[in-house]
Structure 1
Amino acid sequence: MQARRIHLNGIVQGVGFRPHVVRCARMLGCTGWVLNDTHGVEIQVQHEDTAVLDAFEDALVEDAPVAAHILSCLSRPGSCEELDDFAIRASAHGEHASTLVSPDLATCDACIDELFDPNDRRYHYPFINCTNCGPRFTIIEELPYDRSATSMRAFEMCPQCAEEYADVADRRYHAQPDACFACGPRIWWVDTNTEAERVFPLVETVLTPRGNALSASVSEAVLEGGFDDEGTLILERQHLAREESDAIIGYAAQQLRAGDVLAIKGLGGWHLACDACNEEAVTRVRVRKHRPSKPLAVMVRDLDMARTYARVSDEEAALLESPARPIVLLERVPDSPIAANVAGDLPEIGLMLPATPLQHLLMHELDTPLVMTSGNRSGEPIVATDCEAFDALGHIADGFLGNNRAIVARYDDSVARITDDGSVQMIRRARGYAPTPLILGRDGGTGLTSHESQCDVSPVPPSRAVPIIFAAGPEQKATFTFLDDEHAYISQHLGDLEHLGTMRAWHQARERYEQLFDTHPQVIACDMHPEYLASKWAREYACEHDLPLIEVQHHHAHIASVLGENELQGPVIGIALDGTGYGTDGTIWGGEILIATRGKFERFWHLPGFSLPGGAAAILNPERTAYALLKAYDELDDAFFGQFSLDNPQFACFLERLENRTLFDQMIEKGINSPLCSSTGRLFDAASALLGICTHPGYDGEAACLLEAAAWRNDDEHPLTARAFHEGLINAIIEQTLRARSETGINDIALSGGCMVNRILFSQLCERLGDLGFTVYINRELPPNDGCISYGQAIVACARLEE
């Protein structure tokens, strides 16, 4: 008899890996055991034939569950034990956690089949799941990943579920969230009066199988406060019968058809939903949420329904149906029945498919698209607990469709699109993607975890002993990053930190990552902006804990994120185009060409500077920026930038209607609250105002988005059109990039920054620079906007520590 001890690290917990190990072993007649520990999965496997043990190791990796990502598979000779079978052992708890955690996975096809099978005992059960799908990171409290360490610990399995859980041949073998109507979570319904000052007292509406509404007070605990320590609504009954659950879903669908706005609890937080084809209902969402024009995401039943409202390529279909279930930005079809005020004049609409069994049931009942937007007050993070939901959404929603399974981690929906070359561009990385880390390559580069070709029987390579770096990230589209020897853990999208609630969520997430992955900062990195809240916290934390602090220029972080993702050291010609970034000269940068390595950069070129009269007020009022641009560019000797002059007849009407012109002159000339900037985002804002497209944006970036939309239509007959603006700016950037190559000999390009979300700008730069012989590198797994900044900061900090 021979024995081997095998250890696997990566995303190997919560994805059915231990059941997979047992099946492999029993198929080959091996004895042994498998268990979860804080480092991953530990295996003892025994057989008298070496070839069988080799086949076992091959099968471990080659036939691994779809959701598993194996970082390392290390095998060594072991000592034989007296064993008669192969079994799953209780999890081992170590001192240091290093295993990875799966993101949440959309309901799999097998579970969907059962969900709509009248002969299945889980028919219409809103929480059906198996080892291949369901909640993961949003319910995990600590590692190893066992039911007792999740918010499912409150639900003891019934005998039938326990039998499935223990059956190695069953799809739910050791599926931690396994449940059914008899033993698992239930949904609930609460009507609200949006005119009342408070939502309380709450009334739970349960409908009988005959459809009669029964209203009863939801326990004394609800009337006195109503929530447990996790903020979950306390209910008199922990479970519901199928007929009662179906009646609640049917009633919710009825209210949506009637034009109501509902708050619906999802995997990582609450959504606000309404009929996407009902313009009045959409208006109610916008008015109550104070979200006048920002586009809203829409959930559709399936791909066939998606193709009714948008053009869907094969790549886009695959992204829509992927286990991550992101919102996918798609080209709208003409004359779509979706309400005009869902996405305004934008050429794209964000569609998503159901990710949870409840969403599938609701969409099946309705057969109409639903607005499904984040449940929050405008500017604040998505609400996660029931207590938060009633407080924040009580004046927005007409009803609440909730459940009694607590959300442990707050996660918004991810947003992505397919670019012209068929690759995925991430816009917002959250549910379905985070907390999957980027893995540091041998040269310090990164990539997502992937299956190794075989188990490695060589000794473990020595650690690079890189200290744990915590990068605090940006102010907007905030994320943070923990970087250690092997992993870069980039948090989910958290929002804009100028809002107190978002800053609180940032701290909660940081503490959760630190605790869950047992990673404690030894070096702190942050943006060099003096007023960013995350940077202020970083400086204070580093001082209090006597830790090294590395401050990173914003656009260098953008370019460094591309270097890290593509395993490059540099130098590269870095093109960073965005709205705001604090420069080394104290001005606002944002239209930059840098010569950059991971640790250093030089500013090679930037957009001609102009003032922002009123500072932040100019961002909210692009007419101010437009006027300052005309004054600054009035005498520029440049074919493109020189068009923006005070004597250009195309802008005469703009100047005539401009108010407070004398005041702006004084502010600009005397430098009163008028910071100098070279921002591409502000240039887009100014052009949008000058062309009469958007002068009073309702959300950050709207002026630029509408300018791009106008460029797609290309229906203006003036000399300077939205399309001509895009083409002129692209030409100017390429001209300077060619000059940079001529002077430096560098042929590698790194593109990053929020303006790369502009499809015209991004696709044209990639295509034309490629045609000119450049090698173009982009953000791959991370967004090009500020969602990549914390990772870039960590890459810069790591490089500087190694210098």
Structure 2
Amino acid sequence: MKIRENIIIRGIVQGVGFRPFIHKLIKNYNLSGWVLNSNQGVEIEVEGEEEELDSLIEDIKEKLPPLARIEEIEIVKLPLVGYKGFFIKKSKTKEENSLVLVSPDISICKDCLQELFDSQNRRFRYPFINCTNCGPRFTIIKDIPYDREKTTMSAFKMCPQCQNEYDNLEDRRYHAQPNACAHCGPQVFIYNRDGKIIKNVNPIEQAVKFLKEGKIGAIKGLGGFHLACDATNDQTVLRLRNLKKREAKPFALMSFNLEKIEQYCEVEKEEREQLESRARPIVLLKKKRDSIISSFVAPNNNYLGVMLPYTPLHYLLLKDTFSALVMTSGNFSEDPIICDNQEALEKLDKVVDFFLLYNREIFNRCDDSIIKIMNHHSVFFRRARGYVPDPITIDFRLKEVLAVGAELKNTICFSKGRYIFPSQYLGDLKNLGALNFFKESIEKLGKIFRMNPQIIACDLHPDYLSTKYAEEIGAKRGIEVVKIQHHYAHIASCMVENDIRERVIGVAYDGTGYGDDGKIWGGEFLLCDFKKYFRIGHLRYSPLPGGDKAIAEPWRVAYGYLYSIYGKKAKELRIDFIQRQNHNILSIIEKMIDQKINSPLTSSCGRLFDAISALIGVRDKVSYEGQAAMEMEAICVSGIEEGYKFDIYKENKEFIINPENIFKEIICDLKNGASKGVIAAKFHNTVADFTGDLCVKIREITNLNKVALSGGVFQNRYLTERIISHLEKEGFQVYIQRKVPPNDGGISLGQAVIAGSK
């Protein structure tokens, strides 16, 4: 029997060759009708024999284009109209509140890479070669549906040859929106540090020449600028550190292929898979002892952040040239990555010797993503290019929510129905540039996904700029504002991405988060589902003398602990960091603690790591967040199974972990000449031990057997794997984060699901 069906396919179906795929597929059937992009996804209207239509749907599901992903297919039967033939119609844009998934940016495919280095191909060495299966997507899209005129490629009119490819159903570039060539597409230019164009040279070859000479370049990538230099040149890397005012925070690297990377890093199977994936993230790899990479790339760190090229321009820079290039974000401090040519010329002229620019606009700036393999699974440290704006898909529906995240490592999140859309990494909102980027991203993502939030979710901290923004917009637009405790949001984010809806034991370890009691939390054990939570345990409170200053100077945190244990005798302890301090300063700190002057109390596990780091002489002061803990993890001696004693007691229905004996036994180890590496390993083991022991105590009174781990401390591979092992031996089901970072970059996801479930 002949029928007509209207078929709406939702998912990542625009910008991935879906319409030509349908057009080609239809040729295998005796069917007629049309296909188009709409604000709902891809819409097909087709008529023919019912059996053929059923077969078509199965074929669509089984033979998808490489980058496509179907989330939902909606079919409505309609009366026959007598279509003749099958054709692609112009996009339909009427629906106001519909939802279309947008593809992330995709690294260059094998076909384009082969053409790039084929001297007989018309796109030989063209740095913007792309096709339906690869190239820019999110970074160039302005609005949906995904058509050329709604991207930054609208500025480039296709030449006849490119237009023929675009119109040819059999061509790999059929309806590839960024399609271009050297005659009609974006062009690359090279400028000197004074902002003047260097003429009569091949820009990429000149850039390679400059880099070989030890120069530093600002190179425009897919989502923003990189600062680049030869990673084996000590003098140049150190000069970049000094000019960027980046004392010790690691730089990222890029190498031409895996063989190059394996010259200086160990690469495990899971790491190889991530490096070669379409997203091409930075992957944190264990560096080899005799590494050719400058020690200034990642001082006092066993890991290097490495990525493979993901654009044709990168391949052209690296082919037969360098073992590795430093490719660090083109910005200062916590500013957003620079993406505009003029801004780069104005802001980076004191840092770089040359600029390699191109004339296609980046509409959505996007940093490189960062991943580390833990327990044989990938864990995000930063989720951005290659993954955003992919949603987290859930099996229940949420209200429309805008979640504005935390203050540091900010991301935002929109929820709509079964989808939650985390933004790219936006930065630290104390910085004006990051705050503007935050507001800009809310507008841009809200427009692309047609969001009309009913609720704004924010952190409980009254002074977070994201919280103030939520309050301001909520009052202005009459939208409900829901404030959510920081660590509850951490655990909820872990729960939702692991499809857990029932109550769990949540372990949230991080540096800071505003608690219900107004104190600084960060070593928390929670009982929670998406409706409510209860704090059942935490690390014992300790003072932070100097407040934020103590975060930059871990010795203050250590002294706060020691003063709470030893009182006035603390400054007589024969410990290196105490001996280095003026006793008058220590007396002032004691007075601050006694009189509660700028010495807030914290239960933070991150601060406990800082304290131990200072105590054993790893790091008295830090120049970037997490430095002390990272350097302590780096020196852990393998094969150590022992730990230190600790106490767990109950107070007002809460379990308290008392670390006093940990400090006493470490001081004893120091006196007996134990190495820093042995003490560091024993301390990590101890944190795993008290985590496991307290979870067992909680299970005894709750019968809960699922444990969700979240918070920035779980970026520590040694600790995370140790905790998972301990808990699994006790029979727990353990969940970590794999879709968003465990750090504050995942907070907005937790906020969205909690607020959207109300």
* TM-score, L = length of structure 1: 0.88
Deviation of the 1:546 alpha carbon: 2.0
**2:635 is paired with a residue of what secondary structure?**
helix
Hey, what does 1:240 align to over in structure 2?
none
**2:499 is paired with a residue of what secondary structure?**
coil
Matched, 1:474 2:397: no
Deviation of the 1:307 alpha carbon: 1.0
Hey, what does 1:589 align to over in structure 2?
521
Structure 2: how far apart are the matches of 1:495 and 1:721?
34
Structure 1: how far apart are the matches of 2:721 and 2:489?
22
Residues 248-305 of structure 1, C-alpha deviations (whole Å, 9 max, x = no match): 1111000001111100001111110000000111111111111010001000001111
Closer, same or farther: CA 33–633 of 1 in aligned 2, 3 Å: farther
- What amino acid is the match of 1:70? I
Hey, what does 2:451 align to over in structure 1?
519
Structure 1: how far apart are the matches of 2:97 and 2:135?
27
* Structure 1 contact 25–45 (Cα < 8 Å) conserved: no
Matched, 1:204 2:193: no
- What amino acid is the match of 1:186? Q
Deviation of the 1:587 alpha carbon: 0.5
- What amino acid is the match of 1:630? L
**2:636 is paired with a residue of what secondary structure?**
helix
| Equivalent position to 1:752, from 701, 710, 723 | 710
The equivalences for 1:295-334 within 5 A come to: 295-334=250-289
- What amino acid is the match of 1:543? A
Hey, what does 2:555 align to over in structure 1?
623
| Equivalent position to 2:628, from 694, 703, 710 | 703
Structure 1: how far apart are the matches of 2:520 and 2:299?
31
| Equivalent position to 1:743, from 701, 708, 712 | 701
- What amino acid is the match of 2:713? C
Deviation of the 1:390 alpha carbon: 1.4
* Structure 1 contact 328–416 (Cα < 8 Å) conserved: yes
Structure 2: how far apart are the matches of 1:521 and 1:45?
35
Structure 1 stretch displaced more, 61-70 or 609-618? 61-70
Deviation of the 1:714 alpha carbon: 8.3
Hey, what does 2:135 align to over in structure 1?
134
* Structure 2 contact 230–322 (Cα < 8 Å) conserved: no
**2:602 is paired with a residue of what secondary structure?**
strand
Structure 1: how far apart are the matches of 2:359 and 2:510?
42
- What amino acid is the match of 1:654? F
**2:490 is paired with a residue of what secondary structure?**
helix
Hey, what does 2:739 align to over in structure 1?
781
**1:334 is paired with a residue of what secondary structure?**
coil
The equivalences for 1:719-738 within 5 A come to: 721-738=679-696
Structure 2: how far apart are the matches of 1:57 and 1:670?
72
Residues 372-421 of structure 1, C-alpha deviations (whole Å, 9 max, x = no match): 0000012211011112211221111110001000000010000002222x
- What amino acid is the match of 2:530? R
Deviation of the 1:748 alpha carbon: 0.8
| Equivalent position to 1:577, from 485, 497, 509 | 509
Hey, what does 1:181 align to over in structure 2?
182
Structure 1: how far apart are the matches of 2:73 and 2:106?
24
* Structure 2 contact 267–285 (Cα < 8 Å) conserved: yes
Hey, what does 1:233 align to over in structure 2?
none
Hey, what does 2:657 align to over in structure 1?
none
Residues 289-328 of structure 1, C-alpha deviations (whole Å, 9 max, x = no match): 1101000100000111111111112221111011111000
Hey, what does 1:353 align to over in structure 2?
308
Hey, what does 2:156 align to over in structure 1?
155
Structure 2: how far apart are the matches of 1:745 and 1:514?
42
What percent identity do the matched residue pairs reach? 43
Matched, 1:26 2:20: no
Matched, 1:286 2:241: yes
The equivalences for 1:258-273 within 5 A come to: 258-273=213-228
* Structure 2 contact 689–726 (Cα < 8 Å) conserved: no
Structure 1: how far apart are the matches of 2:549 and 2:499?
40
Hey, what does 2:576 align to over in structure 1?
653
Deviation of the 1:51 alpha carbon: 2.7
Matched, 1:439 2:439: no
Structure 2: how far apart are the matches of 1:631 and 1:784?
32
Structure 1: how far apart are the matches of 2:81 and 2:119?
47
Deviation of the 1:647 alpha carbon: 9.1
* Structure 1 contact 559–576 (Cα < 8 Å) conserved: yes
Structure 2: how far apart are the matches of 1:712 and 1:315?
24
- What amino acid is the match of 1:116? F
RMSD: 1.7
* Structure 1 contact 622–695 (Cα < 8 Å) conserved: yes
* TM-score, L = length of structure 2: 0.93
* Structure 2 contact 571–578 (Cα < 8 Å) conserved: no
Closer, same or farther: CA 137–652 of 1 in aligned 2, 3 Å: closer
Residues 768-798 of structure 1, C-alpha deviations (whole Å, 9 max, x = no match): 1011100111222011111110110111112
Residues 339-387 of structure 1, C-alpha deviations (whole Å, 9 max, x = no match): 0110112111111000100001111152331000000012211011112
Structure 1: how far apart are the matches of 2:421 and 2:53?
34
Deviation of the 1:655 alpha carbon: 2.3
- What amino acid is the match of 1:335? D
**2:463 is paired with a residue of what secondary structure?**
coil
- What amino acid is the match of 1:205? I
* Structure 1 contact 253–365 (Cα < 8 Å) conserved: no
Structure 1 stretch displaced more, 385-394 or 74-83? 74-83
* Structure 1 contact 630–645 (Cα < 8 Å) conserved: no
Matched, 1:686 2:687: no
Closer, same or farther: CA 71–656 of 1 in aligned 2, 3 Å: same
Structure 1: how far apart are the matches of 2:538 and 2:680?
21
Deviation of the 1:75 alpha carbon: 2.0
Hey, what does 1:78 align to over in structure 2?
78
Hey, what does 2:665 align to over in structure 1?
none
Structure 2: how far apart are the matches of 1:26 and 1:687?
68
Structure 2: how far apart are the matches of 1:505 and 1:175?
29
Deviation of the 1:648 alpha carbon: 10
Closer, same or farther: CA 574–35 of 1 in aligned 2, 3 Å: same
Closer, same or farther: CA 717–591 of 1 in aligned 2, 3 Å: same
Hey, what does 1:717 align to over in structure 2?
674
Deviation of the 1:550 alpha carbon: 1.0
Hey, what does 1:423 align to over in structure 2?
377
Hey, what does 2:663 align to over in structure 1?
none
Residues 425-451 of structure 1, C-alpha deviations (whole Å, 9 max, x = no match): 11100000011111221xx3xxxxxxx
Matched, 1:374 2:329: yes
Structure 2: how far apart are the matches of 1:663 and 1:566?
48
Structure 1: how far apart are the matches of 2:631 and 2:525?
26
Structure 1: how far apart are the matches of 2:166 and 2:80?
28
Deviation of the 1:600 alpha carbon: 1.3
Structure 2: how far apart are the matches of 1:85 and 1:133?
30
Hey, what does 1:342 align to over in structure 2?
297
Deviation of the 1:88 alpha carbon: 1.2
* Structure 2 contact 105–137 (Cα < 8 Å) conserved: yes
Matched, 1:530 2:531: no
* Structure 1 contact 44–78 (Cα < 8 Å) conserved: no
Structure 2: how far apart are the matches of 1:634 and 1:427?
38
Deviation of the 1:548 alpha carbon: 1.4
Structure 2: how far apart are the matches of 1:166 and 1:87?
12
**2:199 is paired with a residue of what secondary structure?**
strand
**1:10 is paired with a residue of what secondary structure?**
strand
**1:309 is paired with a residue of what secondary structure?**
coil
Deviation of the 1:81 alpha carbon: 4.0
Deviation of the 1:27 alpha carbon: 2.8
Closer, same or farther: CA 671–774 of 1 in aligned 2, 3 Å: same
- What amino acid is the match of 2:237? V
Structure 2: how far apart are the matches of 1:436 and 1:392?
32
Residues 47-103 of structure 1, C-alpha deviations (whole Å, 9 max, x = no match): 3x3332222111111111121111101223234344443221100012233111000
Residues 607-645 of structure 1, C-alpha deviations (whole Å, 9 max, x = no match): 11111111000011111111001122449xxxxxxxx99
